[in-house]
Amino acid sequence: MVTINKDAKLAADVLNVAEKSATRDGAGKGLLEAGGKNPNVVALAADLSESVRTHLFEQKFPERFFQVGVAEQNLAGVAAGLGMSGKTAFIGSFAAFSPGRNFDQIRVAVCYNNSDVKILGSHTGLTVGEDGATHQMMEDIAMMRVLPNMKVVVPSDSNEARKAVLAAANDYGPYYIRLTREKVPTYTTPDTPFEVGKAIELCEGKDIAIFGCGTVAYDCLKAAYELEKHGISASVYDFHTVKPIDKETIIRSARKTGLIMTVEEHQVAAGFGSAVCEVVSESHPCRVVRHGMYDSFGESGTSKDLLKKYKLDTAGIVGKALEAVKGKA
């Protein structure tokens, strides 16, 4: 029987959560709250304020909101200047453009300056859907996690996105917060503990440890119930922080199960799964199966159809986990 971690304070009847919300909505709420708490919080948009939900901040704090137009390089550069001058600057755009377009500014103006800039990168992963491959950013974790001074957080639902924004606002220095467009079940609660750099155990198991990064974490939890029917006991973690990576949880899981599977809506190369491999191979070698995009772009389609095709829905994750367990020596 799947045992839910009570300390995670997940939603009641967690398999049948009715409430749905997008992580970008949670982030928008968090930004609004952060703005209310701290007058030095400012926000900038690059012609996508409503899409990234920074318009909520704009409506409440117009004097602290700046619209740069379709100019992501300037977005990051101006924010860096603000962040060097006592402001906590949130910038929001589609991840395909920020950090997709403005990596140089993020590397030098934000990270090398160690400026207090928080990057909200929305519309990541396959769930962008119909807009297709150009807009389905799946290389951003790789780009951001290699930058010195940068922290990388990938919330798994709306509540967590709100907490991630509030945590970032309270922690000096560059952050990348990876967000999504699609409404997904809000399976955590306001009471679910959130700490940057600390993965949340959703359920405990002994045969395989599944680390979900982003909204796929919930599907990983649902997959655990399916795997149980196959006689497989899986532990599942909501691995919301890619950097700093939670080494302790990774090593403990490697010791316990000897088999780890990572799941992300991102290229398996250089993303979250690779970050896990780096820890495992250096500290406690065991097999790691990375699940995500296998060196390919996405395509147009509904979010649901895409997740199914690329095996990133519950059934796809179950299938991949079964293969992984079979391959376990």
Partner 1 sequence: MAVEKTMANHDMESRKPAGNSGLPDSAQNSTKERCKDPAKLASLAREVRKDILRMLVEAKSGHTAGPLGMVEVFTALYYACINHDPKNPQWDGRDRVILSNGHICPVHYAVLAEAGYFPREELLTLRKLGSRLQGHPHRGALPGIENSSGPLGQGLAQACGVALAARLDKKQFRTIALLSDGEHDEGSTWEAVMFAAKYKLDNLVAIVDRNFIQIDGDTETIMPLEPFADKYRAFGWNVIEIDGNDFTQIISAYEKARTVKGKPTVIIAKIIPGKGVKMFENNYKWHGKTPSADEAKAAIAEIDSK
End-to-end CA distance of the chain: 24
Task: Give the SS3 label for residue 5.
Answer: coil
Using CB under 8 A as the binding rule, whether residue 79 contacts partner 1 is answered as yes
Residues from 110 through 149 that contact partner 1 (CB under 8 A): 112-114
> Out of 27, 76, 221, 234, which residue is the one contacting partner 1 (CB under 8 A)?
76
Site stretch for partner 1 (CB under 8 A), options 23-31, 108-116, 209-217, 316-324: 108-116
Q: How many residues bind partner 1 (CB under 8 A)?
A: 29
- Say how far apart CA 235 and CA 48 lie, in whole Å: 38
Least distance in angstroms from the C-beta of 41 to partner 1:
11
> Out of 5, 21, 51, 74, which residue is the one contacting partner 1 (CB under 8 A)?
74
Closest CB to partner 1 among residues 102, 249: 102
> Out of 7, 19, 50, 104, which residue is the one contacting partner 1 (CB under 8 A)?
104
Closest CB to partner 1 among residues 76, 200: 76
> Out of 8, 32, 45, 109, which residue is the one contacting partner 1 (CB under 8 A)?
109
Site stretch for partner 1 (CB under 8 A), options 104-112, 178-186, 211-219, 277-285: 104-112
Environment class of residue 213 by beta-carbon count within 10 Å: exposed (0-12), middle (13-18) or buried (19+)? Answer: buried
Closest CB to partner 1 among residues 69, 327: 69
Q: How far apart, in Å, are the Cα atoms of 117 and each of 81, 97, 125, 244? A: 9, 16, 23, 17
Closest CB to partner 1 among residues 71, 277: 71
- Say how far apart CA 302 and CA 305 lie, in whole Å: 5
- Say how far apart CA 306 and CA 128 lie, in whole Å: 9
Q: Which of 58, 72, 160, 182 is the catalytic position?
A: 72
Closest CB to partner 1 among residues 89, 224: 89
The 286-305 site mask, x for binding partner 1 (CB under 8 A), equals --------------------
Q: Is the link from the previous residue into 285 a cis peptide, with omega within 30 of 0?
A: no
- Say how far apart CA 262 and CA 276 lie, in whole Å: 8
Closest CB to partner 1 among residues 31, 109: 109
Using CB under 8 A as the binding rule, whether residue 208 contacts partner 1 is answered as no
Q: Determine whether 72 is an active site residue.
A: yes
- Say how far apart CA 104 and CA 11 lie, in whole Å: 41
Among 264, 269, 262, 316, residue whose Cα is nearest residue 290: 262
Residues in the chain: 329
- Say how far apart CA 124 and CA 292 lie, in whole Å: 13
Task: Give the SS3 label for residue 314.
Answer: helix
Residues from 1 through 60 that contact partner 1 (CB under 8 A): 42
Task: Give the SS3 label for residue 134.
Answer: coil
Using CB under 8 A as the binding rule, whether residue 108 contacts partner 1 is answered as yes
Say if residues 324 and 312 touch (Cβ distance below 8 Å): no
- Say how far apart CA 238 and CA 4 lie, in whole Å: 12
Least distance in angstroms from the C-beta of 168 to partner 1:
18
Footprint on this chain of partner 1 (rule: CB under 8 A): 42, 63-64, 66, 68-69, 71, 73-74, 76-87, 89, 104-105, 108-109, 112-114
Where in the sequence numbering do the catalytic residues fall? 72
